[in-house]
Amino acid sequence: MSAAFRERLSRYGLLGPAVLFVGGVALMPVLYTLWLGFRRQLPIFGISRFAGLENYRFLLADARFWNALAHTAYFVLLSVSLELTLGLAIALLLNQSFPGRGLARALVFVPWAVPSVVAARFWEWIYNSDYGVLNYVLGTRVNWLGDPRWALHAAILADVWKTTPFVVLLLLAGLQVIPEDLYRAARIDGAGSWQLFRHITLPLLLPVILLALLFRTMDAARVFDLIFVLTGGGPANQTETLVVYAYKLLYRTLQFGYGSAVAVATFLFVLTLSLAYLRLLGRAWQTHGE
Amino acid sequence: MGLMLSFALGPFVWELITALKPEGQLAQLPPLFPARPTAEHFIAVLGAPGFLRVALNSLVVASFTVLLAFVLGVPAAYALAKLNLRGRQVILGTLLCLSMFPAIANVAPLYLLFIRLGVRDSVLAVIVAHSVFALPFALWTLTNFFQEIPDDLYRAGRIDGCSHLGILRHVVLPLAAPGLVSVGLLVFIFSWNEFLYAFTLTATERSRTLPAAIALFAGLHEIPWGEIAAASVLATLPSVLLMLLFQRRIISGLTAGAVKG
């Protein structure tokens, strides 16, 4: 065995198992879902045939799909903008030095580590219309999760609670690499704290802000656990998001073909949003990055 | 500051208070705090045979998902970081794309596959499913960590005639140990908290994990709020404790995957 051959063999040995595994359990299923999207597959009726674009044509006319898309878009827009605003404020606060900062940081990150199913259980209990602490504190008697006007907003608040820490964490990491000298120099030139924020912090933090935006948007567009446990998509499908709808098609009614088409549409939605952000991100790096 | 901390901790603390309330007081507000806290709900949850089984499943799934991510991920990340392979960019790009797919886009094929192989409702099925997201994440982040190890050390090892496995063991692993800890902790927490795969691929307590069990928690007649609260608090403890104890490592893992990527 030549040395060169042995070298090649060992390289394949290092990389091969992981590539095969990812290909087998991550890539292949995705390709199979694409394929299922072109099929009519209803095991309960024994139907399994190629259907071309039938599912996608049906999808375009499916009011429930558009409904789910609108809820998802609303959820993404509101939760991500709240998370970013709140996250930025908290990150700026935690970037100051004060006694007990380490502890405050540790505690702020706790919600991130809570499983989302459990987070949903926490909030379900807070929102409970009869015994919930929210109604008690506000002195109201609102059925937060049962009222179509409130239910999606209730889910958004729970999501903000659970994921703002992640935004804080990224932004804090970004804030810590801004050189202190810049602030000192600007202060000598007589800049006020708003000017410091506006002309130093914000532009230098912009790439990290966009990155946080990208991650959060990708995740929020795929929201499932929280809504599934909180409302199950109700009342009257008023909180049903794309993934919740796809889940119901796949596992409640076993429509593997059409369910897969909705899953693919969800992916396309996430992809479109991500590409838009990546473009912005690329531009931000060019202008402000090193 | 106080506002921020009470928003962050409030829901958790409220759930804990609920879990400590005697059954009769659950439906009463005020009082906010129980006059005499009780452990009855915790005892009921821990005493139920299903709960410990499900907690054990969660532990097994999360541990083996970490193990699998390391066994497959460490050598591959080393190859991606240090050997100028030709397909490197393609592989890294594919990993990034895969992380954009919603889990719902590959859960149906896995579900059908596991049924055909007769392993649905087994811990193994959940471990494999969790590796679908754990391995690409581990590969991506470990590659970033390994790239920080100076090339000189790698070259010195090669000149001394070390094999790749030798370099990996004696140079890369000791230097990247903190990074490995970060990735291990994150994969453990992701797997411990994961719901969609665990929920669809399991059917009984043989393989169900804590999030799936907590989502399904229902009483025979009325909703057992006290027990749900106790089980929720218990299910949260491992990942929250890891977060509090190893905060530094967890944050560096998350930012290594993100900020440099």
What would the pLDDT profile of A165-178 be if each residue is shown by its tens digit? Answer: 999 988 998 888 88
pLDDT at residue A288, rounded to an integer: 57
Helices (H), B83-176: 88-100, 104-117, 123-147, 151-159, 164-167, 173-175
Are A289 and A209 a contacting pair, CB within 8 Å? no
Architecture of the domain made up of B49-209+228-258: Orthogonal Bundle (1.10)
One-letter amino acid of A178 = I
Taking contacts as CB-CB distances below 8 angstroms, the residues of chain B near A160 are: none
Q: Cβ separation of B104 and A243 shorter than 8 Å?
A: yes
Using a 10 angstrom Cβ sphere, with 0-12 exposed, 13-18 middle and 19 or more buried, the burial of residue A286 is exposed
Q: A47 in helix, strand or coil?
A: strand
Put residue B11 in one of left, alpha, beta given phi > 0 → left and psi -120 to 50 → alpha.
Answer: alpha
Return all residues near A180 (Cβ < 8 A) that are at least 6 apart: none
Q: Which residues make Cβ contacts (< 8 Å) with residue A45, sequence separation at least 6?
A: none
Task: Give the whole-angstrom CA distance, residue A160 versus residue A246.
Answer: 23
What residue has token string 């088409």? Answer: A261
Tokens of B222: 């009325």
Contacts of A165 in chain B (CB under 8 A): 8
Query: Quick one: tokens of A80?
Result: 């991500």
* Every domain of chain A and the residues it spans: 1-31, 63-288
| Structure tokens that stand for B43 in this block | 């005892």
Q: How many residues does chain B have?
A: 261
Report chain A (290 residues): mean pLDDT per 10 consecutive residues: 76 85 87 89 80 88 92 94 94 87 86 92 88 84 85 94 92 86 86 84 87 89 92 86 92 89 92 85 67
- Contact, B172 vs B213, CB < 8 A? no
- Please name the residue of chain B whose CA is at the shortest distance from the CA of residue A35: B109
Mutation for A interface: B70, B99, B106, most A CBs within 10 A: B106
Would you say A20 and A32 are in contact if contact means Cβ atoms under 8 Å apart?
no
The CATH H-level superfamily of A63-288 is MetI-like (1.10.3720.10)
- What residues does each domain of chain B span? 49-209+228-258
pLDDT under 50: residue ranges of chain B: 260-261
Structure ipTM: 0.88
pLDDT tens digits, B75-132: 999 888 888 778 888 888 888 878 777 888 888 889 888 998 988 889 999 999 999 9
Question: Whole-model pTM?
Answer: 0.91
Q: Are A125 and B225 within 8 A, CB to CB?
A: yes
Q: What is the mean pLDDT of chain A?
A: 87
Contact flag B247-A122 (C-beta cutoff 8 Å): no
Q: Considering only CB atoms, which chain B residues are within 8 Å of A173?
A: 251, 255, 259
* DSSP letter, residue A42: E
